[in-house]
Structure formats: C-alpha cells, structure tokens
Amino acid sequence: MDTTTNLRPFPAINFSNERIALQEGVSQWSYAKLRERIEHCACGLLGKQTDLKEERVAFFMPASVDYVTTLLGIWRAGGIAVPLNVAAALPEIEHALNTAKVTRLVVSITSPAESLAGLFALCRGMNIQVLNVSELLTCKIQMLPELSIDRRAMMLFTSGTTNKPKGVVSTHKNIRAQITTLLEAWNWMPEDSIPLFLPLHHIHGIINVLCCALWIGARVTLYQRFEMDTILRGVEDRDYTVFMAVPTIYVKLVSQLEALPEAPRKRVCDGFRAMRLNVSGSAACPAKLFNQWKALTGQSLLERYGMTEIGMAISNPYFGERRAGAVGVPLPGVQVALFDEAGHIIEGDDTPGEIRVRGDNVFQEYWQNPKATAESFVDGWFCTGDVAVRETGYYRIMGRSSVDIIKSGGYKLSALEIESTLLTLEKVAECAVVGVEDETWGEAVTAFVVLKPEQTLGYAELKAWCEPRMSPYKIPKVLRVMEALPRNAMGKVLKPALKTL
C-alpha cells in the first residue's frame, strides 16, 4: 500500500506533463511548470529544515497560481496549510491565526492590498513571520520529505454560525478520499475545463473544484471573484465543460440571462447546455431555481451534500435521475445513515433523522479541541447536526437541527421546505425562515423576505397566498421585509443573525 504522498495525490502533476493546469488571465501554466513552482515553494518554506513537521503555515490570497503553489508547497514540505478568507475582518483572521498557532503567513501580489497593512500589523503583534511567495520561489530545489498519508495536511474553519469557528483538521488520507470519490461519482476526465471563482478558504472551491481538476489533469481557469461578464464570455466560447457554483450565483445568472436580448441569451444558454455537468452546492437549491435553470439551459443541476468536516457525502447521480429539492444518495466509499433521537438507525424511508457519516473522507479532529471532537462522534459516526428524510432512497435535507428545524405547536417543521414554497411567490426574490421563541407556539415561524424591485407585500396578503399552498401550522406567523439577507462568504444565510432581530 502506498503510504507516502510526494504529490502522488495529484498524479497529473509531473515534470513531463505539458497539459495546461492553470489559466489566470492571459497566463497559462502547464502541469510540469506547476510542479516546478510547487517544489521551489516547498524548499523555500523548508530552508535548512528537512520536514516542516506539521507546522501551521497560513496564506492570504485569492484564487491564483500563487494560491495553488502555496497550498501544494506547504503540503509537499510537510506542513499544515491554513488558507485564510481574504474577505474576513481582522478579528476573524486573528482568531484563525491564534487557534491554529500559526508561525508563518504567506502573501502574494494577488493578496488584497487594502487588507495587508492591518494584517502585517496583526502578524507583528502575534510574532508571525510574513513571507512573499515570490521570495520562496527563488530557492533551489532540494530533497523533499516523504510523507505518510496519515499526516495532517489542512486546517479549515467552520462557518461559526452557532459558536466560535473551530479548526477542522484533515489528513492527506482524508483529502485523497474526498477527491477520489468525486472523480468516480462525477465522471471527471483529463479533457475537462472548469472556472474557479469560489472562495478558497472553503471545501467547495478547494476540493470539489481545484483538487479534483488537478488530480485528473483537467484545466482550471482562475478568477479572484465571480466576474459575470468574463465568465459568461467563456461559457459562450465553450471554454468550460464543468461548472460549479452556489445557489446565489445561479440566481444571479438566471436574472442576467433573462435580462439579455434573445440572440446573446441563446448563445450563453447554448454554452451551458453544451457542458457535461452543472453542480450546485454549499446551500440548499430551491426547486424553483432548479426548474428555472433547466428551462433556460437544459441542464439538470446536480445538487450534493457535504460540509467542512466530511467533504462531500451525498450526491445526486451523474447518470440517472437528479431530483429537485433532494441531495441524492451516498457517494462511493462513504457510509451514511439517519439516526433517531434515541440514537438508533432509521431503516426505512419517510422518517426524519440526523445524518451521520463515516469513512476515510471524515476529518481527523477539531484542532486542540478534544472535547468538541469527542462530542461530534458516536460509535465512529460523525454527527452532522443536519436532519434529513429518505424518499425512495434519495435524501432530502430538512435543515440544520439547531436553526432549520422549527418546533412550533407540537410540530417539527422544515424551514427549508417553507422557504422553497415562499420562493414561488412572484414578488419574492429571496427569503429565509426561522423559528423565534413564542409563548404560545414554542417557536413562531418567522419569514424574512427580500422583494423584487418595486414590489410590496403585507402579512395579510402573504397569509392569504400561503393558505392554499401549505398546512396552517407551516404558515409564517410573522413577516419581515428586508433590503438584503445577511450571508457568509459561501452565500449561506446567517440565520442566528436573523433570530437576533
């Protein structure tokens, strides 16, 4: 059995491969050139050492060749990579650096200049050395360490919606399992090409897009942010075979496509139609959006389910039925089960339960937090905290037990189900449903909505609209109209922030 990495988790990266790995603007890097860059970076990080021995090295940069070089350079030198959110506030960055006990921070010419002054001052106060990736690339290539696949490789941070973000530590073995299950399930191939515009402090962009593409030898076009016009030109020119985004991006794309004149709309929609795969994830994909996208592009969005601690666990099939509102079936090599409140496995369909997962894809630990780690596992199963129901074998997410399951009037209600219905109201652009403490109901169903331009909506009108469409106990008791919903970097609505309102 192969117990070392030496970049073998990315078999396409070798000195003889002249296929294009990365495209950034007009610049391109072959797999051979990328490997050379990675090894220079690794040697620069090592200096006179022979192994970083799981030193936590953070880096602060958006999607770029420097990001890829740094991530894989840290792995190759035996360190733990800690990618930071370039949109985070300084206190959030300080929490990540302090939690991980970071010793060095890498930046590059692509790092957001407006953030660097505060970041440099923060690092000085924390005695963290700041390096530029260009300095590391000048180092001579030397012997690099052999690494066990059981070594820690990366630390990402939870979204922190219910408490302070925890450092999620994955080993090389975990990362390899997360990649290879998706290569099989989604039929990745070397001829693929994908745009990468997702934040790269999150598993969606790092594993599902970047690492899967690099493993198989595909091409990644890097964008520092979602550049609508540039990306749509690439779609129109048939530059991509695979497209992965969060639901909010697809909502923006639908709005943009519907606003285009007929001829350019057809060209872009035909570009999406020609792709082999469109994936939606990181937040629930409403059935309305699924149907809108299919009507425009002919593509049935492939929705999947995962989280920072497990990578992806459940997915609609590449070959076969993709159900609107469902996240599909367990991925190859991943064990998934639903558990009731007594801790027993639910065998049949149609009974809600907590999703629990086990397999090589599941993370190793929360960094230096043995209590939280122990509390997250029961008999080897990782407890996700998400509630789902199986319907003829397909899993449908009802919500997160802490924020999306509303206990109102003796009923357990799915906030996601109510949201999905409200989104079919023509006036509503976005919505979020939460349970707010109430003396009568226990929790009152409360709807926060963002309306389309020049629309108004009162509670009486909403209630009348809901009555023929949902059970009385599901109808919101309170309506709040907002200009925008609070969201994190991946587009997830911050429901605890709504509850405080």
The string of DSSP codes covering 81-143 is EEE--TT--HHHHHHHHHHHT--EEEE-TTS-HHHHHHHHHHHHHTT-EEEEHHHHTTSPP--
| Cβ atoms within 10 Å, residue 381 | 20
8 token code pair: 């073998």
Q: Which tokens go with 477?
A: 């008791």
Residue 358 counted as domain residue: no
Instruction: For 237-251, give the secondary structure using H, E and C.
Output: CCCCCEEEECHHHHH
Task: Find the domain containing 83 and state its range.
Answer: 20-185
Measured CA to CA, the distance from residue 159 to residue 203 in angstroms comes to 11
**Is there a single domain that holds both residue 199 and residue 175?**
no
How confident is the model at residue 414, as a pLDDT? 80
Domain shared by 174 and 227, yes or no: no
CA distances from 451 to 422, 442, 455, 462, 479 (A): 11, 28, 6, 12, 12
The Cα-based distances of 466 to 97, 403, 460, 475, 482 in angstroms read 47, 22, 10, 6, 19
SS (H, E, C) 1-16: CCCECCCCCCCCCCCC
Domain membership flag for residue 232: yes
Same domain for 314 and 413, yes or no, is: no
- Residues 42 and 97 both lie in one domain: yes
Residues 181 and 201 in one domain: no
- Read off the CATH number of the domain in which 301 is found: 3.40.50.12780
Is residue 394 located within the same domain as residue 423? no
Instruction: Answer whether residue 109 is part of any domain.
Output: yes
Beta pairing, strands 478-481 & 311-315: unpaired
Strands 27-30 and 80-83: unpaired
For residues 77 and 138, state if they share a domain.
yes
Question: Rounded to an integer, what distance in angstroms lies between the CA atom of residue 213 and that of residue 53?
Answer: 27
The Cα–Cα gap between 178 and 172 comes to: 10
DSSP state of 473: G
CA distance 339 to 353: 5
- Residue 411: CB atoms within 10 A of its CB come to 14
Burial class for 82, CB neighbours closer than 10 Å (0-12, 13-18, 19+): buried
The closest of 42, 100, 43 to 71, measured between CA atoms, is 42
**What is the structure's pLDDT at 6?**
55
Edge-to-edge strand order for the sheet containing 478-481?
428-438, 442-451, 478-481
169 and 41 in a common domain: yes
Give the side-chain half-sphere CA count within 13 A for 430.
18
Residues 228 and 90 in one domain: no
Give the CATH number of the domain where residue 424 resides.
3.30.300.30
- Say if residues 420 and 303 touch (Cβ distance below 8 Å): no
Q: Are 103 and 58 in contact (CB under 8 A)?
A: no
Tally Cβ neighbours within 10 Å of residue 144: 18
Q: Which position has the token pair 């709309």?
A: 265
- For residue 211, tell me if it sits in a domain: yes
Q: For position 163, what pLDDT does the model report?
A: 59
Of 249, 309, 169, 212, nearest to 492 by C-alpha is 249
Task: State the pLDDT at residue 284.
Answer: 80
Per-residue pLDDT of the chain (501 residues; tens, 9 = 90+): 445 555 555 888 888 899 999 999 999 999 999 999 999 999 999 999 999 999 999 999 999 999 999 999 999 999 999 999 998 888 889 999 999 999 999 999 999 999 899 999 999 999 999 999 999 999 888 899 999 999 999 999 987 545 578 999 999 999 999 999 999 999 999 999 999 999 999 999 999 999 999 999 999 999 999 999 999 999 999 999 999 999 889 989 999 999 999 999 999 999 999 999 999 998 788 888 999 999 999 999 999 999 999 999 999 999 999 999 999 999 999 999 999 999 999 998 999 999 999 999 999 999 999 999 999 999 999 999 999 999 999 999 987 776 787 878 767 788 888 998 899 999 999 999 999 887 667 788 999 999 999 999 999 999 999 988 888 889 999 999 999 999 877 678 888 888 887
Contact of 154 with 76, CB cutoff 8 Å = no
Q: What is the CATH number of the domain that holds 85?
A: 3.40.50.980
Residue 140 shares a structural domain with residue 223: no
Domains in the chain, number: 3
Residue 79 domain-assigned (yes or no): yes
In degrees, to the nearest 5, what angle opens at C-alpha 298 toward C-alphas 295 and 301? Answer: 90
440, 472 in Cβ contact below 8 A?
A: no
Indicate the pTM of the whole model: 0.85
Same domain, 271 and 320: yes
Q: Let me know whether 253 and 298 are in one domain.
A: yes
* 338-345: long-range contacts, CB 8 A cutoff, minimum separation 24: 338/388, 338/389, 338/390, 339/381, 339/383, 343/378
Burial of 36 (0-12, 13-18, 19+ CB in 10 A): middle
Q: Identify whether the C-beta of residue 162 lies closer than 8 Å to the C-beta of residue 496.
A: yes
For residues 1 and 328, give the distance between their C-alpha atoms in angstroms, rounded to a whole number.
32
Q: Specify whether the CB–CB gap between 336 and 362 falls below 8 A.
A: no
35 part of a folded domain:
yes
